[in-house]
């Protein structure tokens, strides 16, 4: 509980900091005035139209990916499971790229999150099916890697066939993952998927505790396995799909956050869920501030930064998982 | 009064009928692959019967919710290491899952049941040890504590003494006997004929997916049956009224 409050407070502070920092520094007094609805009109635009929605988008995406990662790890009893690693994000990105490619999203805006969610749900269901057939954690991760590569290849094919450089640039944004130029409209479009997804994941959390015993014993203590799988697959599919619809494919966040949180919650998958979501949100808000203030020629993509931090940690976790359970 | 009934037919299982009730410790015997685990899973509704039915406490098991069934029967499958490094007390507390317990914030009656189970299994000194640091025997006791914490009328345990040293084997079977003495019932899979002869009220012999004998130790434990079911030569030694089974050679 204290951990959750501390993480929430830190995330709120990071979001405020995100409103302060940037190419035009805004002194705290002016930022707060603009946030409160007063101040100069220019400041209000910077805060309300650019910085706040962008920071909130990063936070929301972190919430979804952190919760999905923690829940998938609990369901599959595998510390390496995560929407990015399992190919769920890549499949959602493929579906979204497809709608962009054919200009469907321009015709009807909700098609973008809808297709991303559909891609994520299909991938999550496939992974859950594969998990039923193999007891091996490594085999399952390999299935995910295969799915991820295949979705990546199809996305590359679409890029190859891109009708013009603008579509291509759009697609690159999706592949790399970014919350730049996000508006409250983008958030509102994703919310109907993200919020129910998070709710389903939280409804599944007591069952995740039971699954630590293995499926047979979890069923023995009274867990409804079918319902549990359905909750997590639907929840992770909806949440991840919504995140991809907002920010494209951002990997490794969902693997690192649960790993860091676990020692503070007695390694209980149920109690890992909320702090993982908050920590991943905090991480993406901070990383996005970094992306914005780093004086690079072209702005770094958030997904690139997340992967630069996350991928080495993934390798470390994989190495230590061979010796002890996470 | 909770009893297990299974009159069922499933893959790997020939038509088999079984009923175990309160006040008895029934030991299920049979060689590897005889269908013991399958029979248990059918009886608990974890595996659908292709024919016939399984009932728990009089109700068809497929009509009970998983939680309602778990409140009637505590099931202890073959022991495996937990997926995460949780402390022993949390593992035991999962036995209260069907009562709605959530780890980290147990209701008083759940916490009391967990404490009783840990004490019965002599696990109090290990309560806060992470599961992956336990020896095989300690882990098996932690799982048993989970089953006892459920405080269900029936306990079904699949090889609960595998990987335990002799002292702890006896300890586990005594805990199950205590459960029966308090009016509970137990169905236990064992591979040790000597332990079975010592602790069972009733022996259920399985071979090739069917129940081939069902009765008291005195009635059913014979060298001929051991030879027929397990394919080993065995001697029965009656020492001061206690039956010992010594296995000599494979036939």
pLDDT digits (tens, 9 = 90+) for B119-149: 999 999 999 999 889 988 889 999 999 999 9
- pLDDT (average), residues A108-133: 88
The torsion angles phi and psi of A299, rounded to 5 degrees, stand at: -60, 135
Closest C-alpha to B202, from B213, B189, B215, B191 = B215
Cα B163 to the chain's mean position, in Å? 15
For A160-172, how does the pLDDT look when each residue is reduced to its tens digit (9 = 90+)?
Answer: 888 788 778 877 8
Angle, CA of A19, A256 and A268, to the nearest 5°: 110
Tokens 């490594």, residue?
A138
Residue of A nearest to B44 (CA): A220
User: Collapsing DSSP states into helix, strand and coil, what is residue A292?
Assistant: helix
Are the beta carbons of B82 and A212 separated by less than 8 Å?
A: yes
Q: Give the distance from residue B221's alpha carbon to the nearest chain A alpha carbon, in angstroms.
A: 31
Residues contacting residue A243 through CB under 8 Å, at least 6 positions apart: A60, A61, A64, A65, A68, A83, A89, A190, A194, A250
Are the beta carbons of A219 and B71 separated by less than 8 Å?
A: no
Q: In the CATH scheme, what is the homologous superfamily, with its name and number, of domain B4-250?
A: P-loop containing nucleotide triphosphate hydrolases (3.40.50.300)
Structure tokens at B147: 């089953």
State the angle between helix axes of A137-160 and A165-176 in degrees (0 to 180), rounded to the nearest 10.
160
Q: How far are the Cα atoms of A20, B16, B39, B147, B155 from residue B176, in angstroms, in the given order?
A: 65, 25, 20, 10, 8
Are the beta carbons of A267 and B84 separated by less than 8 Å?
A: yes
Q: What is the model's pLDDT at position A322?
A: 56
Q: Where are the domains of chain B?
A: 4-250
Residue A324 binned pLDDT confidence (cut-offs 50, 70, 90): low
For B53-108, how does the pLDDT look when each residue is reduced to its tens digit (9 = 90+)?
Answer: 888 988 998 899 999 999 999 999 987 889 999 999 999 999 999 999 999 899 99
The answer to whether A259 contacts chain B (CB < 8 Å) is no
Contact B75, B193 (CB under 8 A): no
Question: Which of A33-42, A59-68, A135-144 comes out lowest in average pLDDT?
Answer: A135-144
Q: How many CB pairs under 8 A join A and B?
A: 104
Residues of A whose CB is below 8 A from B68: 222
Angle, CA of B166, B171 and B176, to the nearest 5°: 130
DSSP state letter for B190: -
Are the beta carbons of B86 and A262 separated by less than 8 Å?
A: no
Q: H/E element holding A70? A: helix A52-76
Residues of A whose CB is below 8 A from B74: 220-221
DSSP state letter for B1: -
For B24-40, how does the pLDDT look when each residue is reduced to its tens digit (9 = 90+)?
Answer: 999 999 999 898 999 99
The answer to whether B1 contacts chain A (CB < 8 Å) is no
Q: Chain B interface, mutation test: which of A221, A275, A322, A323, most B Cβ atoms within 10 Å?
A: A221
Neighbour count for residue B175 (Cβ, 10 Å): 21
Task: Kindly provide the residue ranges of all beta strands, DSSP E only, lying in chain B, ordered along the sequence.
Answer: 4-10, 13-20, 25-29, 51-56, 59-60, 73-76, 154-158, 185-189, 202-207, 210-215, 232-239, 242-250
Residue of A nearest to B95 (CA): A221
The answer to whether B74 contacts chain A (CB < 8 Å) is yes
Q: Which domains does chain A possess?
A: 57-275+298-321 (1.10.3470.10)
């Amino acid at each position: 509980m204290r951990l959750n409050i501390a993480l929430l407070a830190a995330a709120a502070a990071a979001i405020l900091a995100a409103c302060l920092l940037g190419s035009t520094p805004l002194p705290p007094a002016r930022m707060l005035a603009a946030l409160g609805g007063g101040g100069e009109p220019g400041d209000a635009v910077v805060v309300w139209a650019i910085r706040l929605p962008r920071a909130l988008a990063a936070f929301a995406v972190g919430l979804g990916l952190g919760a999905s990662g923690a829940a998938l790890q609990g369901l599959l009893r595998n510390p390496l499971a995560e929407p990015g690693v399992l190919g769920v994000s890549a499949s959602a990105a493929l579906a979204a790229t497809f709608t962009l490619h054919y200009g469907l999203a321009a015709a009807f805006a909700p098609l973008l999150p809808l297709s991303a969610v559909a891609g994520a749900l299909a991938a999550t269901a496939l992974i859950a099916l594969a998990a039923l057939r193999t007891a091996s954690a490594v085999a399952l991760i390999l299935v995910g890697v295969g799915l991820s590569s295949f979705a990546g290849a199809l996305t590359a094919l679409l890029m190859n066939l891109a009708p013009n450089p603008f579509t291509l640039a759009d697609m690159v944004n999706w592949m790399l993952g970014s919350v730049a130029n996000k508006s409250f409209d983008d958030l509102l479009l994703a919310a109907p998927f993200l919020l129910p997804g998070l709710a389903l994941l939280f409804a599944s959390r007591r069952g995740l505790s039971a699954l630590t015993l293995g499926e047979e014993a979890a069923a023995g203590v009274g867990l409804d396995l079918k319902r549990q799988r359905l909750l997590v697959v639907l929840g992770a599919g909806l949440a991840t799909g919504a995140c991809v619809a907002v920010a494209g494919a951002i990997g490794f966040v969902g693997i690192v956050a649960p790993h860091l949180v676990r020692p503070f919650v007695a390694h209980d998958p149920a109690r890992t869920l909320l702090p993982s979501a908050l920590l991943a949100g905090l991480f993406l808000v901070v990383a996005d501030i970094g992306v914005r203030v780093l004086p690079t020629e072209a702005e770094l993509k958030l997904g690139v930064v997340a992967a630069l931090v996350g991928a080495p940690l993934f390798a470390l976790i994989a190495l230590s998982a061979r010796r002890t359970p996470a | 009064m909770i009893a297990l009934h299974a009159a069922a037919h499933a893959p790997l299982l020939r038509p088999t009928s079984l009923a175990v009730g309160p006040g008895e410790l029934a030991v299920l015997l049979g060689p590897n692959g005889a269908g013991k685990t399958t029979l248990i899973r059918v009886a608990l509704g974890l595996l659908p019967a292709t024919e016939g039915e399984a009932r728990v406490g009089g109700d068809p098991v497929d009509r009970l919710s998983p939680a309602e069934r778990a409140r009637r029967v505590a099931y202890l499958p073959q022991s495996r290491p937990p997926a995460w490094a949780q402390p022993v007390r949390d593992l035991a507390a999962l036995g209260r899952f069907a009562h709605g317990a959530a780890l980290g914030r147990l209701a008083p009656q759940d916490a009391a049941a967990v404490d009783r189970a840990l004490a019965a299994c002599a696990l109090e000194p290990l309560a806060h040890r992470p599961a992956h640091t336990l020896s095989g025997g300690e882990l098996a006791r932690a799982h048993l504590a989970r089953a006892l914490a459920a405080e269900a009328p029936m306990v079904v345990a699949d090889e609960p003494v595998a990987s335990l040293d002799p002292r702890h084997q006896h300890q586990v079977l005594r805990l199950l006997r205590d459960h029966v003495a308090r009016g509970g019932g137990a169905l236990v899979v064992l591979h040790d004929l000597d332990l079975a002869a010592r602790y069972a009220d009733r022996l259920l012999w399985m071979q090739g997916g069917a129940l081939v004998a069902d009765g008291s130790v005195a009635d059913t434990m014979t060298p001929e049956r051991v030879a027929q079911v397990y394919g080993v030569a065995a001697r029965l030694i009656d020492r001061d009224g206690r039956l010992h089974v010594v296995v000599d050679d494979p036939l």
